[in-house]
Structure 1
Amino acid sequence: MSVRIDITGLTPDRIHVVPSPLNELGMALHALSEPGHHPGLQGWATAVSARLDPCLADRMCEADFLWRSTFSDVFAPFAGLPGRNALPGETLAEELDQLDRLTDEQFVDAALEFTCQSTNGEPDRNILADPAVQQRALDLAAARGPHQVRFTRRLLDDPPAVRTWLRGLLQDCDEAFFADTWARLSHQLAADARHKTELLRRKGLGEALKSISGVVSLDESVRRITIDKITDGHTATGHGGLVLMPTSLGWPHLMVLHRKGWQALITYPVSAPGLAAPPTVEQLTRRMAALAHPVRMRLCRHLARGSYTTGELADAHGMTAPEISRHLTVLKKAELITTRRRGRYVQHQLDISVVSRLGSDFIEGVLR
């Protein structure tokens, strides 16, 4: 699974690395509503939440589905402007003006992302004039709850009013907490953008993408960017541009805007704890499948405590050496165990540094 961007015909002058205050505000709202996604920001989220005006906090809850479970493309309005080559504004006010320049159809379509009603690859249609499409949106919203249904009705009945309400909410969030946060983060994001721009100029797009993340790659032979994600999607730059956007609050999210008719955008975190090269989806699949077997779970419990030979594990688990060997092969292919030779003995041990990245619950389980 992956998201692919066809960049046939894309010239270097149409590739830009630029931060966005509106996008970062969206990331801030997401981190506040889902602090579990961002353990490194829990101190910041707690401090901001503690000083929030209760009325503003209630208003933020009214539309938090725009940034909690999904990240709405309304936070990148520049990508929907005609020509597909606009850039985000330097200030939040400029980007909110760009939000006002989207058509009602674009605004509603992007805001309805939370219903999982994706139109990224579907034929052109007019949501505001098609009763069947509107009813489908309401049915999908109903699965999320009555609050979302009310919002969807307002959105379909009066898009300008909802857009005005959302703009006012974002401006109040800026005044309440985001302006200070942006003042602190903007220098880091600007520095990263300059570095990536220089990398583009000196070494080309492939190296710049590699510096963003190990899961982003460029196939020059077919002029295609591939982003390894547990989702499928595709878009093309066409006559438009490609924007690479750094975020400081977004880790671990690497997001790709591939909405039909919008400019391609990759939002990447500038700081990420852990290893520089994250595992591919294929590696994750192998690791989760390897750990799903009860025998291999029990082997991991042994191997987390020390290094053992195949014979020792066979004796401990009442199995034959060939049976143990087969399970060890699966764990080794998943890169979950290390092997070393000591004289005529081969010892195996769980690689805690790799397993820990899969989750602390598993580590606690095998070490309990």
Structure 2
Amino acid sequence: MSVTIDITGLPDERLLFTPSPLAELNAMLHVLAEPAHHPALHGWASSTTATIPPELSERLLEADFLWRSSRADFLVPGLPGATLADELDAVDRIDDELYVTGALITTCGSSRLARAASPLTDPAANERARELALARGPRQAAFADRLLADPPAVRALVRRMLEDCESAFFADAWRRVLPALAADARHKADLLAHRGAAEAVAALSPAVGLEQGEDGRRRIVIDKLQDNTTSAVDNGGVTFIPTVFGRPHLLVVHAAGWRPVLQYPAAEADLPEPVSLALVQQRLEALAHPVRLRLVRTMARGPHTTGELAAAWQLSAPEVSRHLAVLRKAGLLTTERRGRYMLYQLDLAGSARLGSDFLEAVLR
């Protein structure tokens, strides 16, 4: 499963790497709403929550579905500005129909409302939006009702809330992370200029790649638990926004009518690279077999030869070899040759990461 962005015929200079204050604020708000997604930021989330004024906390709680389980597209700008105010000005220039649809996509979960049927003008779309919002709770329903009844008033409230976040906590956090974000964006832009789009895109994450199909089409493919396709050709290009607070998510704006945007975790030393969802699934399937699980239990205690494993579990050597091949292909074993013997041992560090790899893959 993946999100695919078609960039066939798009000049490399239309790939933009740049930080975004609004996108990073969006990531911070998500951390505050879902701290369990970001265990490394528990300290920041706890201290920030404790210092936010109660009145602002209430407003953030009311609107947190804009960034909790998914993100409103207008909070991840396709053409970032220099300041948060610049980007909020750009959001103000979006027409009501696009803004409301972007907000209600988040309010109503993963269901995408049809662009041809605006909930502001189409009775069936309006009813469906209210239905989906109500299913997600009374706060979502109240927000949807207010937004559908008076979009300008709700838009103004959201803007004031985001401006209050800047003075409450965002400005200080943004000053701390901006140098790292700017450096990461410059590095990716240098890769693009000197080594081409494939290397620049590959440097974003092992979960992102540039594919050239047999049909000659070029596509950016992002490993996600969904299947969606969009085109960058008709929307002016693709924007790549580094984030510190968004890790481990790969946030993709891919809805029709929006410039495609990928918000990716900025490079950070000493962090293990994320693995693909396919590899996580392969490892889970490898460990699900009862015989392989017994072998793993033995190899977790130390290195063993094929013969030792066969004797320990009353199996034939060829049968053990077949199971070891599956575990090796899944990257769960380390090997060491001693003379004519090959010793196999469970990769404890890699196996310990399986739980976090799984969570990162499904949260991506």
* Fold match by TM threshold 0.5: yes
- Partner residue, 1:44: 44
Residue in 2 that maps onto 1:289: 285
Task: Find the counterpart in structure 1 of residue 221 from structure 2.
Answer: 226
- Aligned-pair RMSD on alpha carbons? 2.3
Tell me by how many angstroms 1:178 deviates. Answer: 0.5
Q: Match for 2:258: what amino acid? A: W
1:151 corresponds in structure 2 to 143
Q: Does the 8 Å contact 1:235/1:259 carry over to 2?
A: yes
Q: Give the equivalent residue in structure 2 for 1:235.
A: 230
Which residue matches 1:82? none
Deviates more, 1:338-347 or 1:52-61: 338-347
Aligned residue pairs, count: 353
Q: State the SS of the aligned residue for 1:359.
A: helix
Q: TM-score, normalised by structure 1?
A: 0.88
- The equivalent position to 1:119 in structure 2, one of 112, 117, 125, is 112
Per-residue CA deviations over 1:147-198 (Å, capped at 9, x if unaligned) read 2222222222222222111111111111100011111111221222222222
Residue 179 (structure 2) pairs with residue 184 (structure 1): no
Query: 2:246 pairs with 245, 250, 256, which one?
Result: 250
Change (3 A) 1:274 1:233: farther
- 1:159 counterpart letter in structure 2: P
What is residue 67 of structure 2 aligned with on the other side?
Answer: 67
Q: Describe the SS at the equivalent of 2:261.
A: strand
Measure the CA separation in 2 of the matches of 1:295 and 1:65: 45
Q: CA deviation at 1:299?
A: 3.0
Equivalents in 1 of 2:99, 2:60: separation in Å? 19
Q: Which residue of 2 aligns with 1:279?
A: 275
How has the CA–CA distance of structure 1 residues 295 and 206 changed in structure 2, closer, same or farther, with 3 Å as cutoff?
A: same
Q: What is the CA-CA distance between 1:235 and the residue it aligns to?
A: 0.7
Aligned-residue identity in percent: 51
Using a 3 Å threshold, how does the CA distance of structure 1 residues 310 and 141 change in structure 2: closer, same or farther?
farther
Residue of structure 2 equivalent to 1:92: 84
Pairing 1:302–2:298 present: yes
Deviations 1:76-105 (A, max 9, x none): 2x43xxxxxxx2111111111111111111
Instruction: In structure 2, give the amino acid aligned to 1:19.
Output: P
Question: Is the Cα contact below 8 Å between 2:275 and 2:357 reproduced in 1?
Answer: no
State the partner residue of 1:133: 125
Answering whether residue 193 of structure 2 is matched by residue 198 of structure 1, we say no
Q: In the alignment, what sits opposite 1:20?
A: 20
Aligned-pair distance for 1:347? Answer: 2.2
Partners of 1:134 and 1:344 in 2: how far apart? 72
Give the match's secondary structure for 2:120. Answer: helix
Q: Report the residue type matching 1:94 in the other structure.
A: D
- 5+ long unaligned stretches in structure 1: 80-86, 363-368
Q: Which residue of structure 1 aligns with residue 362 of structure 2? A: none
Q: Whole-Å Cα distance in 1 between the matches of residues 349 and 269 of structure 2?
A: 13
TM-score w.r.t. the length of structure 2 is 0.89
What amino acid is aligned across from residue 144 of structure 1 in structure 2?
R
Partners of 2:62 and 2:44 in 1: CA distance: 22
Cα deviation, 1:45-66, whole Å, max 9, x if unaligned, reads 2221221222222221112122
